Structure 1
Amino acid sequence: MKIISRAEWGAKPWNGTPDQIALSQRTEFFVHYDGGDPINYTGVKVPQTIERSHLNQGWSGVGYNFVIDQAGNVYEGRGWNLQGAHCPGHNISGLSVQIAIGGDQKPSAKALTACRALYEKACSKTGRTLAKKGHRDGIATECPGEHLYAWVKAGMPVDADEDPPESDSSESSATIKGYDVSAYQSSTYSTKGADFVFIKATEGRSYVNPRMTEQAGHARAAGLVVGFYHFLWPGNIKAQAKYFVDKCASRTGDILAVDWENTSSGARATCEEKDQFIREVKKLRPNHRVVLYCNVDFWTRRDTTSYAGDGLWIADYVTAGKPRIKADWLIHQYTDKPIDTNTARFASRAAMKAWATGIKAEKPEEGKPKPKPAPPFPGRQFFGPGKNNAHITALGKQLVRKGYGQHYATGPGPKWSDADRKNVKAFQLAHKALAGDADGLPGPKTWQILFS
Structure 2
Amino acid sequence: MLLKNALLVTAVCLALTHNASAQPLAEVERRIVAVPDWGGTAADATLARKHTITHITLHHQGEPFKPGTDPVKYLRNLQSWSRTTKHWLDIPYHYVIDLDGRIYEGRNIAYAGDTNTEYDPLGHALIEVVGNFEDVEPNQKQLDAVVDLMAMLAAKYNVPLERIASHRDYSKQTVCPGANLYRYVQQGYFREKVAERLARKK
Q: TM-score, normalised by structure 1?
A: 0.32
Q: 2:88 aligns with which of 31, 55, 59?
A: 59
Give a deviation string over 1:227-258, Cα, whole Å, max 9, x none. Answer: xxxxxxxxxxxxxxxxxxxxxxxxxxxxxxxx
C-alpha displacement at 1:153, in angstroms?
A: 1.4
Q: Is contact 2:101–2:142 with CA below 8 Å preserved after alignment?
A: yes
Give a deviation string over 1:252-278, Cα, whole Å, max 9, x none. Answer: xxxxxxxxxxxxxxxxxxxxxxxxxxx
Partners of 1:83 and 1:91 in 2: CA distance: 6
Partners of 2:104 and 2:57 in 1: CA distance: 16
- What is the 5 A alignment of 1:216-231? none
C-alpha displacement at 1:79, in angstroms?
A: 3.5
Count residues with an aligned counterpart: 156
Partners of 1:99 and 1:154 in 2: CA distance: 18
Residue 160 of structure 2 corresponds to residue 134 of structure 1: no
Partners of 2:150 and 2:89 in 1: CA distance: 24
Residue 178 of structure 2 corresponds to residue 145 of structure 1: yes
Q: Which amino acid aligns with 1:57?
A: K
**Which residue is equivalent to 2:58?**
31
Q: Is contact 1:28–1:95 with CA below 8 Å preserved after alignment?
A: yes
Q: Higher relative contact order at CA 8 Å, sep ≥6: structure 1 or structure 2?
A: 2
Partners of 2:190 and 2:92 in 1: CA distance: 26
Q: Which amino acid aligns with 1:95?
A: A
**Which residue is equivalent to 2:14?**
none
**Which residue is equivalent to 2:140?**
109
Identical-residue share of aligned pairs (%):
25
1:157/1:60 CA distance change after superposition, 3 Å: closer
1:66/1:88 CA distance change after superposition, 3 Å: farther
Residue 42 of structure 2 corresponds to residue 44 of structure 1: no
Q: Is contact 1:42–1:70 with CA below 8 Å preserved after alignment?
A: no
**Which residue is equivalent to 1:228?**
none
1:124/1:11 CA distance change after superposition, 3 Å: same
Extract unaligned runs of 5+ from structure 1.
165-452
Q: Which amino acid aligns with 1:153?
A: Q
Partners of 2:189 and 2:72 in 1: CA distance: 25
Structure with the largest fraction of strand: 1
Partners of 1:70 and 1:150 in 2: CA distance: 18
**Which residue is equivalent to 1:84?**
113
1:88/1:4 CA distance change after superposition, 3 Å: farther
- What is the 5 A alignment of 1:153-168? 153-157=186-190
C-alpha displacement at 1:42, in angstroms?
A: 4.4
C-alpha displacement at 1:33, in angstroms?
A: 0.9
Q: Is contact 1:42–1:71 with CA below 8 Å preserved after alignment?
A: no
**Which residue is equivalent to 1:341?**
none
**Which residue is equivalent to 1:363?**
none
3-state SS of the aligned residue for 1:152? helix
Give a deviation string over 1:124-144, Cα, whole Å, max 9, x none. Answer: 111231412121111121111
Q: Is contact 2:95–2:107 with CA below 8 Å preserved after alignment?
A: yes
Q: Which amino acid aligns with 2:60?
A: Y
- What is the 5 A alignment of 1:312-327? none
Partners of 1:43 and 1:11 in 2: CA distance: 12
C-alpha displacement at 1:92, in angstroms?
A: 1.3
Give a deviation string over 1:348-399, Cα, whole Å, max 9, x none. Answer: xxxxxxxxxxxxxxxxxxxxxxxxxxxxxxxxxxxxxxxxxxxxxxxxxxxx
| RMSD, matched Cα | 2.3
Q: Which structure would you say has the larger Rg? A: 1
Residue 68 of structure 2 corresponds to residue 68 of structure 1: no
Q: Is contact 2:65–2:130 with CA below 8 Å preserved after alignment?
A: yes
**Which residue is equivalent to 2:123?**
93
Q: Is contact 2:55–2:159 with CA below 8 Å preserved after alignment?
A: no
Partners of 1:14 and 1:96 in 2: CA distance: 16
Partners of 1:58 and 1:154 in 2: CA distance: 36
1:145/1:83 CA distance change after superposition, 3 Å: same
Q: Which amino acid aligns with 1:52?
A: S
Extract unaligned runs of 5+ from structure 2.
1-27, 198-202
C-alpha displacement at 1:43, in angstroms?
A: 2.8
